[in-house]
Structure 1
């Protein structure tokens, strides 16, 4: 194992940051997940979005803004590229005219990654994509625990009469038996609703709901420590909607809500997942047309890197 050669992001002294490949962190691109421990995979879609469009450009822009990320995590001392074989496997080719067909394409694309015992880090794309990803996860691992960080519960039964959309993935995933309901945690929910019961469907099914107001003015390290203790060694999926962050930090998204989480709280949540049996992660709902300074995509790229740093098997310099 110690003789294994690991892929490395292209360094800033090897090639200027504004040059080189257009992959995540300027990693090598791979044709498949064969031989990889983890991979970045894009799902460029916004046909499930209900308000602002543009998340189809999310994967490309997140990759573009990832060029400043260096291989070592100075805060946690994680060295993911010394212990995991990682590459960018490109994008899943969706059917941009057919959302139900796209769900099947995503499920099959993620299933092919999981067949190689590779952990996918998915770059979205609107949040519809998490439903077929969770279908593939459940087919591989059985029902999984879920940490879902979002402004919205995404548990609508329908949107405009449709069962599949970015506001329905976690109801569909529950109905399909993809989740362990008592180990589902929804963090950062806020905003206005249509009825007083809008978040109560989740609670009625056994989900733990942590509204944004319960997160204000405090560290979220204790919260994620409690979640981690409850999940234990169960397989867990992390789904992070960038609109969980306050629009002051992440304006480039389709359905912004005021009063959201801070970037520091997001980092605390992700770093607190170290030691969990993570089987996959996603970062969704970055809409570059509304991200005029690139701040949202920069934040998304760094949060995806933080997810990579807490995957099982990552080497830490203090270990």
Structure 2
């Protein structure tokens, strides 16, 4: 566990200069790669049955940010996605709603209109998603446009080039600026862990994002391979756990990209419980960025209730 000598005061000092921030991040304990991967593999073998499985399936549905982030997205596609978010299984009204619908900024207003009164949040990617290669002024305006259109949550991307070249202060300052531009919207900071190369970098980027004001840290854009993995998510969960120990603040975690089956989702839920603790088994603190995952969760839910799987075309394809 990462130890902080004197809690919040020390962390405030850490961010007072780029030199102190650098020394803090480079001084974080290294991640035992073999140990992290072995731990994730062990947790991934846990199985749950019957009542516990039914609860886990419903919880996973409630944690989904139902997402469409394609160049061919249209208002019609977003309207259909919002209808599915409201009623994932029209034949079973007991099926819970998802946490949010995530779209590009120009489609936020459409999603907001379709989800009015549902309690489902609208999330928008911003800051020159997915590359993050634009000026800070453009990133700030991108964020303001999304929030003005009605986004409840903003998913920003960090400048991985700046991070990998050691310009931690620049990355920190950008997150702080986007945090301010987002106003009351929750800020999810995408690390793009597939480009960070090492678990040590994932730990450093996680702490950097939290110190700068992230409400969530998110693995990936879904546009880079590898996207979310269980060991990377484990490292991020350790980071939010340790940050909570140091500050008393709860920061969420969102794995995104490549999580397609109920079996995989349950592995993540077990890892959450065993690493960060049961407080994080809540959509306010853990989300799945996904599209196809929902269908498999619905199929498994129907199987558990009826004893048989529905046909492959029973649920809408996203």
TM-score, scaled to structure 1: 0.34
* Highest RCO, 1 vs 2 (Cα 8 Å, sep ≥ 6): 1
Higher strand share: 1
Rg comparison, structure with higher value:
2
TM-score, scaled to structure 2: 0.34
Higher helix share: 2
